[in-house]
Structures are given as structure tokens and as C-alpha cells.
Amino acid sequence: MNKIKVLQADQAQKIAAGEVIERPSNVIKEIIENSIDAGATQISLFIEDTGKNLIRVVDNGCGMTSDDAQMCFLPHATSKITSMDELENIDSFGFRGEALASISAVSRVTLITKLNRLQDSDAGIKVEFVDGKVRDVQPASCNVGTDISIHSLFYNVPVRKKFLKQDETEWNLIQSIFHAFCLSHTAIHFKLFRDDKMVLNAPTVTDIKTRVSQIWGNNISQNLLELTPKKHAENWLDFYGYISNHNFWRYGRTHIFFFVNNRWIKNSELSKALLKGYLNVLPPAKFPAAFIFATVDKTFVDVNCHPKKEEVRFLKPATVQARLQEVVKATLEINISAQLSPQKTVSIFEETPTNFEYKDQYFVEKSFASGLNIQQPNFTENKSKFYHNNDAADSDFISPLIKINSVLQYKESVVNQTQDDIDFGRDQSINQDYYNFKIIGQLFNTYIVLENGDDLIIIDQHAAHERILYEKMLKNFERKDGVRLMFPEILKLTEHQINLLLEHQDFLNNQGIEFDVFGKSEISIKSGPVALVKASLQELILEIVNFIDENEEMDNDVFRKKLNEHTHSHLACKSAIKAGDELSVLQMQNLVQELQKTNNRFICVHGRPTTWTIKRPDLEKNFKRR
């Protein structure tokens, strides 16, 4: 008896469906691609039970005839190509003729469609498929376009259904693919519904940045930089789109999207090239937001290398990766250079009343200042630059400068340094690493340069201040008072994210963050930590909720400790003075002394060094003096 047997057609189709349809998001991708290929300008997606119970896509595309509607679910039935030769110049998303056949093999499908050439009074067609076979065909009253419903996904393949992830994971995958279509087709009006509730309404827009605002709000879009085009000899490749600036990052890759010829793809090599462009820009284990579109000559890319059409193969992959890295790096360099260029600055010390009395003891003691070779401030000439504030909070916090036209704006409520509390006398708690220092100056408005005995010391002002603030926050276990916002900030979140915040509302309150749930998908932020501007406050909350979502399965004590450290590191980073902030001699002195009193002062929270020491012998060797 022969061992080899030919499988029945329906069994073979169910097995083959596994290559194309693994989860609900795969179904959604295939159906929406068909809607786009049909020329739809309006696409609505309805989801029930994260796609396991119902996936419904309604569009206003060209529709189908009765014969096409019954034939479209047959294996390898397609309207896109007639031979392999046409693949080289394919413009449509679909072309393999496998998706609809695979979907109908593992679900119950209802298709209602009406051809756009028909009159309004003409009827459309309704076709029902079960196990890949037509069960019923009848006329239907409907609008022009297609309305397709997929019920009971994997009802006849229980092993596949068993391997689906948790509902929120599957829902995140659905949102990700839907967001990708929204980004790549800004001329289409998209709507997303979950369990009869509208989750996203994205009308047509003219640019990608506006679409990002529709999907994720202004927190991301206002931190985006348009990719800087660069001319190259290779005219078969070009990049455009947006990436986040150097002050914005995520804790995962959820906001990284790549498109090749407007087709959303997954490509690990492009991801590596993107991160190489951010090398030495982002902290370790942090990721940018990126919405990158590659226009590639069709003869240089193969879109038929994966059953789900999620991957492509480039004829010259190394060139593509190098170009992407170069474009990203150039965009960041232009932005950073613009921020570090000379700008008009205003002092944090406001104009003072004419009857204000100045006292020398509020500032540097003359004897100590002369020992440091620091010019004594002339209080008569600079009378309007300083003031004494008895109500200022924690005097150990260094006040950042406020820059005009800078993207790094600070609130006016930033804690001002109390001048009479600045003590440059000998402090017994200060470490002796560079006590007898002499400030040489500030380099690039980013580094403080000191002379200390036979050492030349360079301090990264942002990294140092970040470490100072972080250590102070860790020591303060009491409730931190927030600043009441004059106008509450509205932040758009998903229902799942709001529930996570509510579960940890006591923790947020202890950080000075108070909020109320506003509507079904928004929160109203009433107060926040001192020195955080609007964008930073919203970003802090997003980072907290993402951290909770990714790490909530930890042991409760470990989780709370990690969450506390994570939140304080973010607060310290956003509150610290920045690269490009011009500091006075007094501020530099105070920063250096505070750093000397700080634990773990040689590295910042993200692992970067705060100081770099050059020994005198090494310096003299370089100048051939030894």
C-alpha cells in the first residue's frame, strides 16, 4: 500500500493558509490592501473580540461584479497580474491570489459588493463563503464599494487559535498595521472601531506629520524632524519622511515605520541602519520615532519574497542601509547644530525693584574667589541681573537658562537658585576629587573646563546636573509637590493605557502628577513636577505607562523599585540644564560643588561619563614637552 497520499483540497488549503494568515492583523492587512487597490477613499475597520469574532472592512472602492465576487476567493485568483513578467513593474499591493482563499479556508466570510458602474437603483451582490466554498448568493441593497465580514476566525483550526497572543497584544498588532496604512495613504479617510466604539477617526490630510498628530497626538509630531534630502549619484533610491529629534525617545520600536514604494515592510537591516544614524545621540536601549519612506526603482527591489508581502529584498542592500544612515545622521546634525548656534539669551534673574539692597555675602566671598582666580562680580554695573528670592524652593537645584526660540523651553516656574544660600566655603561633605579647582570657562556652551592641580577636567554640564538631580530624587521618599497647571493639559491615550495609569495613580500622585479621566480616551493633567514643560510632562506620562505595560509582570516590589528609578531618571534628564545652555561663573561653580557631593558622580543616569580628566604629563607629551 502506498504511503504517499494527495491531501484533499480543503485540507491542503487550510495548511497553506498558515503561511499567509497567522493572526487577525494578517487578515486586516490583506483586506485593506484590496480596498486600496480598488481605489477607495474611505475605509472603515470594525473589530470585535480583537478580531477573533469579527473583522469587517467597509470601503467605497470600485466594487465587483457578481462573477468576480464569487471567483475572488478561489486559490490564485487575482485581477492584478496575468504572468510573472508583470511582477517587475507591479504597482498594486496584492498580486499572489492567495490571501482571500486563505481567509475563507479558516473563517466564515460574507461579501457584499456593488460595482461603481451600476446605477443607484441597481442591486449589489451578497456572497457567503464557508470553508472556502460558496454557500449562498443573492442580490443585496448596498452602496457602491465592498463590505466584507470575516466571522469566527480559526473556528476550524483550533491549534492556530490556541497560539494567538493575549487580547491586548493582538489589538496592538492590529493598531500597528492600521496606523501604517494611515501613514502611507494620507488621502484616504480611515476609521477604526473596537467593539462598537470608535477608536480612531483620521480624515484625509496633506502631509505625514499631520497624520502622526491624528494618530498619536502632538507629543510626537512636535518632536519630528523632516529628513534632509541628499544628492547622490544613484538616482534609483531616495528617502523622505520624519524622524524624532535627539531629545525624544521611546522604550520600544512601536513608533518605527518603514515603507518601500508606499508599501509598509519589516526589515531588520533598515532598523539597524536607522539606529546607527542615532549612534551617540540616544541613551542606551532607547529608540526613536521614525516614519521613513523609501522610493526605489522597481528593478532594484523584489516584493515577492514573502507570502505575507511584509518583507522585500533589495538588489543593493548595503547601499540602501548606508544611504539611510547618512540621511538620518545629516538630519540630526543639522538640527543639533542649529540649537547650538549662537542665540540671544535672557538671564533667569529678572529686573529687580530699585529699592532692593544687595549684599556681598549673597554671592562669592572675595577671599575664596581670589583664590580661584575668578573675577569678582560688579554688583553696581550688573544690579539688574540678580535678585534675592526668599521663597525659592530647594536651593541645591541648579537653575537652567531660558533660551529664546529654542525647542528646549523651560517653564517660568523653574526653581530659581537662592543666592544667599550659595556657600562656596569649605564643605566637609564635599569629596576631594577636585576641591581646589579653578574654572577656566565653558566650552561650546556644553562643557565646563576646570584646572585642578595637575589635571585638566572637562565636565558635561547636562550629564552632571542630571546625576545631581537623580540622586536628590532618590533620597527624597516623601510625596513630591507638583505645580498646579493654570490650564490642564489634555493627553490622548488608549483605554488600556488609561486603565494602567489608574491602577498606579497613587504612585503618580506621589510624583506630583495629578490627572482626571476626560472622556473615553483622554486624561486631563492638573499638575506636574516642577521644571517640566508641557511636552516633557506629556512624554513623561507616556514613558511611565509604556514602562508599566511592558514590566507589570515583575514581582511587585521589584516592579515598584524599577518604576521609581525609571520615573526619576526621566525627570532628572528633562529637568537638567541642556547642552547649549550658557552658564554664568556662579552657576558653573555651584554645579561643580554639587557634583562633588553626589554619589555615583562619574556617570549620568544613562551611563554616559560626566567628567573627563586629562593629566598634565599626558598633555605635555602631546606638546613634546616630555
* DSSP structure class, residue 519: T
How many C-beta atoms lie closer than 10 Å to residue 444's C-beta? 8
Q: Which three cell numbers stand for residue 140?
A: 443585496
Query: What whole-number distance in Å separates Cα of residue 591 and Cα of residue 231?
Result: 44
Does residue 283 contact residue 246 with C-beta atoms inside 8 Å? Answer: no
Query: What whole-number distance in Å separates Cα of residue 302 and Cα of residue 305?
Result: 7
pLDDT above 90 (res 282) = no
Q: Which three cell numbers stand for residue 238?
A: 531616495
More reliable by pLDDT, 247 or 348: 247
How many C-beta atoms lie closer than 10 Å to residue 622's C-beta? 10
Q: What is the pLDDT of residue 441?
A: 93
How many C-beta atoms lie closer than 10 Å to residue 332's C-beta? 22
Q: What is the pLDDT of residue 421?
A: 33
Q: What is the pLDDT of residue 377?
A: 41
% of the chain surpassing 90 pLDDT: 33
Mean pLDDT, all residues of the chain: 78
Query: What whole-number distance in Å separates Cα of residue 546 and Cα of residue 357?
Result: 51
Helix (H) or strand (E) holding 530: none
Residue 238 region, left (φ>0) first, then alpha (ψ -120 to 50), else beta?
beta
Q: Annotate 65-80 with DSSP letters as a single string.
A: -HHHHHHTTSTT--SS
Query: What whole-number distance in Å separates Cα of residue 480 and Cα of residue 463?
Result: 23
Residue 153 region, left (φ>0) first, then alpha (ψ -120 to 50), else beta?
beta
Tallying the residues shown for the chain, one arrives at 626
Query: What are the percentages of helix, strand and coil residues in the chain, rounded to 5?
Result: 35, 20, 40
Query: What whole-number distance in Å separates Cα of residue 297 and Cα of residue 261?
Result: 9
Query: What whole-number distance in Å separates Cα of residue 500 and Cα of residue 552?
Result: 9
CA distances from 3 to 6, 9 (A): 10, 18
Q: Which three cell numbers stand for residue 419?
A: 543666592
Query: What whole-number distance in Å separates Cα of residue 183 and Cα of residue 177?
Result: 10
- Over the stretch 296-324, which tens digit does the pLDDT of each residue have? 988 888 876 665 667 788 989 999 999 99
Helices (H) and strands (E) in the chain, counts: 18, 24
Highest mean pLDDT among 52-61, 219-228, 464-473, 591-600: 52-61
Residue 280 region, left (φ>0) first, then alpha (ψ -120 to 50), else beta?
left
Query: What whole-number distance in Å separates Cα of residue 512 and Cα of residue 509?
Result: 5
Q: What is the pLDDT of residue 340?
A: 57
Does residue 57 contact residue 45 with C-beta atoms inside 8 Å? Answer: yes
Radius of gyration of the chain (CA): 31
Residue 189 pLDDT grade (very low, low, confident, very high; cuts 50, 70, 90): very high
Does residue 96 contact residue 16 with C-beta atoms inside 8 Å? Answer: no
- Over the stretch 425-468, which tens digit does the pLDDT of each residue have? 334 344 555 557 889 999 999 999 999 888 899 999 999 999 99
Q: What is the pLDDT of residue 605?
A: 84
Q: Annotate 341-354 with DSSP letters as a single string.
A: S---EE-SS----T
Q: What is the pLDDT of residue 198?
A: 92
Query: What whole-number distance in Å separates Cα of residue 345 and Cα of residue 516?
Result: 37
Question: What is the separation, in whole angstroms, between the first and last Cα of the chain?
Answer: 92
User: What is the average per-residue pLDDT within 197-217?
Assistant: 93
Q: Which residue in 282, 214, 219, 280 sits closest to 251, CA to CA?
A: 282
Q: Which three cell numbers stand for residue 484?
A: 498646579
Three-state DSSP at 53 gives coil
- 19-33, 121-135, 168-182, 401-415: segment of lowest average pLDDT: 401-415
Q: What is the pLDDT of residue 584?
A: 92
Residue 375 region, left (φ>0) first, then alpha (ψ -120 to 50), else beta?
beta
Q: Which residue in 18, 14, 15, 24 sits closest to 153, CA to CA?
A: 24
User: What is the average per-residue pLDDT within 11-37?
Assistant: 77
Three-state DSSP at 167 gives helix
- Over the stretch 96-138, which tens digit does the pLDDT of each residue have? 567 788 888 889 999 999 988 766 667 889 999 887 788 899 9
Domains of the chain with CATH codes: 9-200 (3.30.565.10), 215-339 (3.30.230.10), 437-471+578-623 (3.30.1540.20), 482-529+535-575 (3.30.1370.100)
More reliable by pLDDT, 275 or 382: 275
Q: Which residue in 163, 113, 165, 121 sits closest to 137, CA to CA?
A: 113
- Over the stretch 559-575, which tens digit does the pLDDT of each residue have? 778 888 888 887 888 88
Does residue 236 contact residue 217 with C-beta atoms inside 8 Å? Answer: no
